[in-house]
Amino acid sequence: MARTLTDDSVRVWARLIRVEQVLLDAVEAALKAAKLPPLVWYDVLFELAREPDGRLRHRDLYARMLLAKYNLSRLVDRMSAAKLVSREPIDDDARGAYIQITTAGRAMRSRMWSVYGRAIAKNFSARLDRDDIDDLSRILHKLRP
Give SS3 for 55: strand
pLDDT tens for each residue of 7-54: 999 999 999 999 999 999 999 999 999 999 999 999 999 999 999 999
Q: CA separation (Å) from 35 to 29, 53, 70, 104, 121?
A: 10, 29, 21, 16, 20
Position 73 scores a pLDDT of 87
Of the pLDDT bands very low, low, confident and very high (cuts 50, 70, 90), residue 2 is low
- Could you name the CATH architecture of 8-132? Orthogonal Bundle (1.10)
> Angle at Cα 103 formed by Cα 45 and Cα 37, nearest 5°?
45
Q: What is the per-residue pLDDT across 46-92, written as a single tens digit (0 to 9) for each?
A: 999 999 999 999 889 999 987 666 688 899 999 999 999 999 988 88
Q: What CA–CA distance (Å, rounded) separates 62 from 101?
A: 15
Q: Residue 66's pLDDT is what?
A: 77
In three-state secondary structure terms, 94 is strand
Radius of gyration of the chain (CA): 18
